[in-house]
């Protein structure tokens, strides 16, 4: 894939595991830290800072797309200025502005969009209140809104492996038309389906693709993510 960057968004059990992953993949990853997994925002911030001090690129996440965590994500992001932030659609612009307010211009902020009734239609109702509604809009309208507020990336969740590739293609195409060239497919992707997912994103114009792959590399006994397997995957994806 010419002129396309692929970075994996992965989990790590601890700082050493994260460092091993970053080294094995030559830095072509973000390590997800989910605020939902912590009793307090202070604990989350402490771990994020610990990882950052070790030069680990952190992706601050909600935790399974939980919209109730959006405020905690903002607070953690403002206090740590991470490399990457996951956010629900209604709060993405607020998050971007909050980061700019503390001088963080390098942070990639995405907005969570859900596939809806078929190709070309999506739901942006991913916030704590809006999630109660089933309203859908066109991919083009959703992308235009993101362009208006300056959000960098579309997080498309869940795509359920390869069952929604037509919907992925339409969302990527319309996002690119609006100048948004970072695309993050997630939800049900594994090491077998990810290649075709990445290909579809690239074929439709995405310039940076960040597939979120969590459990596929995690050893069920130790809880560690396998750095070697992550490295093999990123190498193979670079040749898609």
Is 202 a member of any domain?
yes
Task: Report the sign of the C-alpha dihedral through residues 156, 160, 161, 164, in that order.
Answer: negative
Share of the chain above pLDDT 90, in %: 90
Is 240 a member of any domain?
no
174-211: per-residue pLDDT in tens? 999 999 999 999 998 988 899 999 999 999 999 999 99
* More confident of the two residues 2 and 124: 124
Q: Is the pLDDT of residue 136 over 80?
A: yes
Q: Minimal CA–CA distance to 1: which of 233, 201, 230? A: 201
Q: Is the pLDDT of residue 3 over 90?
A: no
**What is the spatial distance between Cα 53 and Cα 126, in angstroms, rounded to a whole number?**
32
Is 29 a member of any domain?
yes
Instruction: Output the pLDDT for position 117.
Output: 85
Q: Is the pLDDT of residue 16 over 90?
A: yes
**What is the spatial distance between Cα 84 and Cα 130, in angstroms, rounded to a whole number?**
24
**What is the spatial distance between Cα 86 and Cα 63, in angstroms, rounded to a whole number?**
9
**What is the spatial distance between Cα 16 and Cα 1, in angstroms, rounded to a whole number?**
32
Q: Is the pLDDT of residue 135 over 70?
A: yes
Q: Beta strand pairing status for 137-138 and 121-123?
A: antiparallel
Mean pLDDT of the chain, nearest integer: 95
Indicate the pTM of the whole model: 0.96
Is 230 a member of any domain?
no
What confidence category does residue 144 fall into, taking pLDDT thresholds of 50, 70 and 90? very high
* More confident of the two residues 218 and 209: 209
Q: Is the pLDDT of residue 160 over 90?
A: no
Structural domain span for residue 204: 5-219
CATH classification at residue 154: 3.20.20.70
Q: DSSP character for 178? A: T
Compute the radius of gyration of the chain from its Cα atoms.
Answer: 17
Is 128 a member of any domain?
yes
What confidence category does residue 36 fall into, taking pLDDT thresholds of 50, 70 and 90? very high
Is 46 a member of any domain?
yes
**What is the spatial distance between Cα 188 and Cα 77, in angstroms, rounded to a whole number?**
26
Instruction: Output the pLDDT for position 165.
Output: 96
Contact residues for 76 (Cβ-Cβ < 8 A; gap 6+): 35, 41, 44, 45, 48, 60, 82
Number of domains in the chain: 1
Q: Is the pLDDT of residue 216 over 70?
A: yes
Task: Write the CA distances from 224 to 84, 210, 218, 228, integer angstroms.
Answer: 22, 21, 5, 12
Q: Minimal CA–CA distance to 223: which of 4, 28, 14? A: 14
Helix (H) or strand (E) holding 24: helix 15-24
Is 225 a member of any domain?
no
Q: Is the pLDDT of residue 1 over 80?
A: no
What confidence category does residue 214 fall into, taking pLDDT thresholds of 50, 70 and 90? confident
**In the predicted model, what is the mean pLDDT of residues 2-22?**
96
**What is the spatial distance between Cα 151 and Cα 179, in angstroms, rounded to a whole number?**
10
**In the predicted model, what is the mean pLDDT of residues 4-23?**
97
Q: Is the pLDDT of residue 240 over 90?
A: no
**In the predicted model, what is the mean pLDDT of residues 13-40?**
97
Is 238 a member of any domain?
no
């Amino acid at each position: 894939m010419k002129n396309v960057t692929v970075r994996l968004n992965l989990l790590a059990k601890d700082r050493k595991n994260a460092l091993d992953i970053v080294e094995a993949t030559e830095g072509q990853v973000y390590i997800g830290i989910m605020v939902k997994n912590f009793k307090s925002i202070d604990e989350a911030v402490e771990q994020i800072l610990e990882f950052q001090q070790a030069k680990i690129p952190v992706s601050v996440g909600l935790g399974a797309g939980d919209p109730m965590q959006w405020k905690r994500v903002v607070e953690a992001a403002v206090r740590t200025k991470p490399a990457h932030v996951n956010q629900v659609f209604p709060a993405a612009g607020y998050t971007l502005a909050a980061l700019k307010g503390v001088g963080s211009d390098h942070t990639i902020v995405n907005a969570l969009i859900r596939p809806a009734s078929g190709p070309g239609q999506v739901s942006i109702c991913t916030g704590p209140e809006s999630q109660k509604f089933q309203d859908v809009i066109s991919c083009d309208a959703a992308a235009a809104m993101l362009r208006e507020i300056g959000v960098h990336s579309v997080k498309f969740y869940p795509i359920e492996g390869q069952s929604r590739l037509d919907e992925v293609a339409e969302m990527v195409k319309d996002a690119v038309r609006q100048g948004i060239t970072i695309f993050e497919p997630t939800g049900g992707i594994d090491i077998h389906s990810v290649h075709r997912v990445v290909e579809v994103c690239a074929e439709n114009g995405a310039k940076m693709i960040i597939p979120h792959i969590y459990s596929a590399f995690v050893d069920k006994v130790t809880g560690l993510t396998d750095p070697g397997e992550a490295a093999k995957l990123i190498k193979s994806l670079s040749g898609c």
